[in-house]
Structure 1
Amino acid sequence: MPVNKIVGSAAAAVADIADGAGLAVGGFGLCGIPTVLIEALADAGTTDLDVTSNNCGTDGRGLGILLERRRIRRITASYIGENKEFARQYLAGEVEVELTPQGTLAERLRAGGCGIPAFYTPAGVGTVIADGGMPLRYGPEGEVLVSSPPKETRRFTTEGVERDYVLEHGLPTDFALVRAARGDRYGNLAFHSSARNFNPLAAMAGRVTIAEVEELVEPGELGPDEVHLPGIYVHRVVVLTSEQAAAKDIEKLTVREVTA
């Protein structure tokens, strides 16, 4: 792996993401999303993508750009969110969707990055998550074409209490796209506050991980306790311009009157 992981442009960084690739994408709503890399992938025309992300951006922003251009074949996410086009395509049978509890999704990504094939969790026991029957793909008339299969469950005793647990599989992906506040040429990354969210987990899951960074620092400037994701997980770094770094959308803006 090269010591200098900086790539000259976002277009070059995503150029080898092929049609049909599996893609983990960091972010939560519009917070901490790799906007520039997503736009470069959209411009490249890559299609038939199998995307794993907490949600799918919003209409026309974030992963919503790929969704509106019909580039996504399947999505593993924890919720539909504010994206009306996401809901429309799902209900119209234009995209396959696997809804997964948010904590389970996070652990599936982490497990995929750590080489853990599967794990047991109590989340989803007694629901369609474990029992099967969740609609994955609808037909044009609203009929269910593909449903989730039942999952293996086992009973374990923890702290003297017997509980049922469902088996969930790790989720490695071909590529991962993430955004960091600061990074160095070795690929060590630091995230800002809540923008950390799913970014480290998505980065771990990708066999090839591409990070866009708002600020490039010299190796050693990030102290050991400041590194949220070590460079061993990162393969390519794209340094954003000041304009790109500052261009951040707000999903929901709430304001109040200031009284004297």
Structure 2
Amino acid sequence: MINKIARSVADALAGIQDGATVLIGGFGTAGIPGELIDGLVEQGAKDLTVVNNNAGNGDTGLAALLKAGRVRKIICSFPRQADSQVFDGLYRSGKIELELVPQGNLAERIRAAGAGIGAFFCPTGYGTQLAGNRETREIDGKQYVLEYPIHGDVALIKAERGDRWGNLVYRKAARNFGPVMAMASKKTIATVHDIAELGTLDPETVVTPGIFVHQVVRIERVATQAGGFKKAA
């Protein structure tokens, strides 16, 4: 019987090795798998390469992982903002490597990994420092830069609902990078708020099929100060 439901966050993260490339879903704070990131801090893997749209907010989540000294390199499109002081301090002191990637390129490089595409040409970044020393080519009178896929050893993503086969349904903008990251990684771990009975998820709403998911962890919703529940984004 296929059952991908993990007993705990710790069990799901147990196999992550030092030096792994970890794709972490989320756009700003929307769709961030906070419980998995906190678990990764506890798990202890180091020298990680982390791929995320951002480089952490405040002192929690991804910023906490950076602060713990577990990340050697981060690949992202938007590393600095008002509350990115953790990344800023590490980068200025030379303690973390940054690969800055335009947001569309980042999404497409991850998608290409999942689709089995070896490389592709993209116009974004041509003629700037972002192009680096990569190959360029003129196609139909327009200049393009060669981009390579971003493969992950593991993807940590957040969904709304899932079943024991690993089929996932997302909530609105929390979907963001989750689906392409799941396809681009050797192993995908997803948190969900609800475990659905097998066969009850409408196939038309399943964005990430279970074939791309290896473990699912159920987490509680975050309580608000008013005593209700915050519908996590």
Q: TM-score range by the shorter chain?
A: over 0.9
Structure-2 change in CA distance of 1:128 and 1:49 (3 Å): same
- The corresponding residue for 1:93 is 94
**Does the CA-based 8 Å contact 1:178-1:210 persist in structure 2?**
yes
Secondary structure (helix, strand or coil) at the match of 1:74 reads strand
**Does the CA-based 8 Å contact 1:110-1:201 persist in structure 2?**
yes
- The corresponding residue for 2:179 is 200
Specify the code of the residue in structure 2 equivalent to 1:127. T
Could you tell me how far 1:185 is from its partner in structure 2? 0.9
- The corresponding residue for 1:71 is 70
- The corresponding residue for 1:216 is 195
Could you tell me how far 1:203 is from its partner in structure 2? 1.4
- Give aligned pairs, total: 227
Matches within 5 A, 1:1-260: 3-82=2-81, 83-130=84-131, 132=132, 150-157=133-140, 162-243=141-222
Specify the code of the residue in structure 1 equivalent to 2:4. K
TM-score normalised by structure 1 residue count: 0.83
**Does the CA-based 8 Å contact 2:56-2:79 persist in structure 1?**
no
Cα distance in 1, alignment partners of residues 167 and 80 from structure 2: 31
Secondary structure (helix, strand or coil) at the match of 2:49 reads strand
Secondary structure (helix, strand or coil) at the match of 1:109 reads helix
Where structure 2 has 5 or more consecutive residues not aligned to the other structure, the ranges are none
Please, what is the CA RMSD of the aligned residues?
A: 1.8
Structure-2 change in CA distance of 1:206 and 1:247 (3 Å): farther
Specify the code of the residue in structure 1 equivalent to 2:41. A
TM-score normalised by structure 2 residue count: 0.92
Secondary structure (helix, strand or coil) at the match of 2:160 reads strand
Could you tell me how far 1:56 is from its partner in structure 2? 2.2
1:76-123 deviation line (CA, Å, top 9, x unaligned)? 000113311111211211100000000000011111112111111111
Structure number with bigger Rg? 1
Where structure 1 has 5 or more consecutive residues not aligned to the other structure, the ranges are 133-149, 251-260
Specify the code of the residue in structure 2 equivalent to 1:231. G
**Does the CA-based 8 Å contact 1:56-1:62 persist in structure 2?**
no
Could you tell me how far 1:19 is from its partner in structure 2? 1.1
Could you tell me how far 1:17 is from its partner in structure 2? 0.3
Secondary structure (helix, strand or coil) at the match of 1:123 reads coil
Could you tell me how far 1:62 is from its partner in structure 2? 1.7
Secondary structure (helix, strand or coil) at the match of 1:171 reads coil
Specify the code of the residue in structure 2 equivalent to 1:16. G
Structure-2 change in CA distance of 1:182 and 1:7 (3 Å): same
